[in-house]
Amino acid sequence: MNVLSQCWAVLAKDILLDLRGSSRLTAVLFFAMMTLLLFSFGSEPDPESMRRHAAGYLWLALLLSSVLALGESFRSEVEDEALEGLRLLPVDPRALFYGKALSNTLFLLVLATILLPLSLGLYGAEVRGSLTSLIGFIILGTAGLAAPGCLYAAMTSQARGQDVLLPLLLFPLVVPVLIACVKGTGLCLSGDAMGQASSLLSVVATFDLVYWSVCGLLFGKVIDE
């Protein structure tokens, strides 16, 4: 099998596992919903203030939830040495990375699709700007979380204190993507009078290109060690 075929096989395996058991989606979704609810409790009791911060709360909920989703994704690979079995087939490390990264991107996309209308209703916000740009930020933003998240989740999967190490490593790296997505999503919700959303989309796309390229090259070294 070539690298592309192996990548699709890994992606299909992860999707099938998620479809057979929905416990990961249920747990992560419940955590994300509770996070959104807690943010609403901690914000000012002012409808305008809640609408203004709706984009930030949405992406913070996605960021925190991604740690749980990514950690659980590789925890299942470590059990019974499943990851070692994939390496012995052998599966190309690049195919393994891109298959896992795509599956986690799809997982976060499903999560974002559910959380977006919930956050709009909870904070009283609405889409006043470009819906196409909003969809672009959701897709590129989740991809920007998934790629470095997969690399660090694999790195910490067999380490003690994985649940602590993963966010400590991941959060500083995804700050540029998070900031651009929060600002861009906020413009899509409040109205983009100056047309800044397209430039912010370019920023997120550039970081995605760097993350997906570099992390794919480093993944083989990470799982070998």
Using one digit for the tens of pLDDT, what is the confidence trace for 63-115?
999 998 888 877 777 766 666 666 666 777 888 889 889 999 999 999 999 99
Residues 6+ apart with CB under 8 A from 56: 182, 186
Cα 177 to chain centroid, rounded: 11
For residue 15, what pLDDT is reported?
Answer: 84
Higher pLDDT, residue 148 or 161: 148
- Please give the single-letter amino acid code of residue 207: F
User: Averaged over 157-177, what is the pLDDT?
Assistant: 84
- Please give the single-letter amino acid code of residue 100: K
pLDDT in tens, 184-224: 999 898 887 777 888 999 999 999 999 999 998 888 887 77
Tokens of 92: 């190309």
For residue 191, what pLDDT is reported?
Answer: 82
For residue 219, what pLDDT is reported?
Answer: 85
Tokens of 79: 């059990």
User: Averaged over 16-28, what is the pLDDT?
Assistant: 79
Cβ pair 182, 134 in contact under 8 A = no
For residue 81, what pLDDT is reported?
Answer: 65
Residues 6+ apart with CB under 8 A from 96: 6, 10, 86, 87, 219, 223
For residue 165, what pLDDT is reported?
Answer: 86
Tokens of 143: 């991809």
User: Averaged over 137-162, what is the pLDDT?
Assistant: 87
